[in-house]
Amino acid sequence: MASRAQAIKSNAIGLSKKDYDGSVSTLCKGCGHNSIANQIIQVAYELSLKPHEVIKLSGIGCSSKSPAYFLGMSHGFNALHGRMPSVGTGALMANHHLRAIGVSGDGDTGSIGFGQFKHLMRRNVRMVYIVENNGVYGLTKGQFSATAELGLELKYAGHNDFPQIDICTEALIAGCGFVARSFAGDAKQVRELLKAALSHRGTAVLDIISPCVAFNNDDSSPKSYSYGREHEQPLQEIGYVPYAEEIVINDYDPGELKLVELHDGSRISLRKLEEDYDATNRLEAINRLQSAAVKQEFITGMIYIDNERPNLAEVSHLTDTPLAHLSDQDLRPSEEKLSSFLKAFA
């Protein structure tokens, strides 16, 4: 009979799924943020991520608390409200070999941190940036956030007089090369998108509708579980194929299949569900998002992908050895070099 230790499955680097756990969640039972944290654990285990090579980043909010609930052996930095992008940019300039997973909220990103969010994408910092989008400031008792729909009526927040901003449209306009939307209730799609996002060379934005069961889960709200389950319209069926795994096209159902190569040689397969949708066409993506917003359609999937644009570390010509690992001697110019450099300004 197999011993208990033998019965626990381990991944390619000998870790069990439990090794990717964090501390026990203190969020409300049923909060969408909890199921996203569970999918991050599952994906990190399946991809055999080395915990010490991962940095978790967040701002402030219920969503921003969730990095405490996954990957307990990884690095982490809980930044000020809306300031996660600049802290992440600094950390990744110091060590661009880290795999960064940022978790933010619609308030943390769409309100106080909006400028920071835009500049992260402009610079194409290599980070998976998850917005756990519930349309409210959950932590401070449910005030409307900037992603709440115009005219929405909620028990605690009342009537919303302002138009919503769309995180995916804003990401596209800022030049982001990986823009996707999903729903916390669609675990499989969240996992496939997370895997692809981790293989992207720059900023990968995942806008995940994540219902707040305390303040925004009324059946009439487009960010509730029931609305998401009834209205989700996936743009395509997504599959992630790790590098070195053979791609057997016959395995897929009939229908047009597009394979997109990612930075590390992995691929994502996008089987079209909508005949006219092409996730590599930026203008089409913007149009589709805008018309979905007008009709209050809930489209999910890979909205836009472009894996060509160099990231900040590449544009900055960073040495392969991370700056944080270079010695003082390597980092400081010699006296000779410094004086010849200064002479150029004389």
Residue 212: strand pairing partners:
216
- CA dist 286 → 97, 173, 177, 262, 277 (Å): 32, 8, 13, 22, 12
> Which 271-300 residues touch ligand SF4, going by CB under 6 A?
none
Angle in degrees, CA 120, 126, 128, rounded to 5:
85
CB of 83 to ligand TPP, least distance (A): 9
Handedness of CA 33, 36, 42, 43 (dihedral sign): negative
List Cβ neighbours of 176 (8 Å cut-off, separation of 6 or more): 121, 124, 202, 203, 204, 205, 304
Determine, following the binding rule CB under 6 A, whether residue 62 of this chain makes contact with ligand SF4: yes
Report residue 28 as tokens.
Answer: 């409300």
Residue 85 or 105: which CB sits closer to ligand TPP? 105
Look at residue 27 and give the partner it binds from Mg ion, ligand SF4, ligand TPP, none, a contact being a CB closer than 5 to 8 Å depending on partner kind.
Answer: ligand SF4
CB of 65 to ligand TPP, least distance (A): 8
Residue of the chain from 15, 28, 260, 273 that contacts ligand SF4 (CB under 6 A): 28
Determine, following the binding rule CB under 6 A, whether residue 143 of this chain makes contact with ligand SF4: no
Concatenated DSSP letters for 269-305? EEEESSTT--TT-HHHHHHHHHHHHHHT-EEEEEEEE
> Which 214-253 residues touch ligand SF4, going by CB under 6 A?
214-215
Distance separating alpha carbons of residues 273 and 234, to the nearest angstrom: 7
CB of 257 to ligand SF4, least distance (A): 37
Contact 66, 37 (CB under 8 A): yes
- Looking at residue 325, its amino acid is H
Residue 124 or 134: which CB sits closer to ligand TPP? 134
Angle in degrees, CA 105, 107, 113, rounded to 5:
95
Distance separating alpha carbons of residues 311 and 323, to the nearest angstrom: 16
Determine, following the binding rule CB under 6 A, whether residue 144 of this chain makes contact with ligand SF4: no
Q: Minimal CB distance to Mg ion: which residue?
A: 105
Look at residue 66 and give the partner it binds from ligand TPP, ligand SF4, Mg ion, none, a contact being a CB closer than 5 to 8 Å depending on partner kind.
Answer: none
Angle in degrees, CA 154, 215, 145, rounded to 5:
75
Look at residue 81 and give the partner it binds from Mg ion, ligand SF4, ligand TPP, none, a contact being a CB closer than 5 to 8 Å depending on partner kind.
Answer: ligand TPP
Determine, following the binding rule CB under 6 A, whether residue 64 of this chain makes contact with ligand SF4: no
Determine, following the binding rule CB under 6 A, whether residue 27 of this chain makes contact with ligand SF4: yes
Determine, following the binding rule CB under 5 A, whether residue 105 of this chain makes contact with Mg ion: yes
For binding to ligand TPP (CB under 6 A), which residues are involved?
60-63, 81, 105-108, 132, 134, 136-140, 145
Only segment of 23-31, 79-87, 185-193, 275-283 that touches ligand SF4 (CB under 6 A)? 23-31
Per CB under 6 A, residues contacting ligand SF4 are 27-28, 31, 33, 62, 134, 138-139, 212-215
Per CB under 5 A, residues contacting Mg ion are 105-107, 134
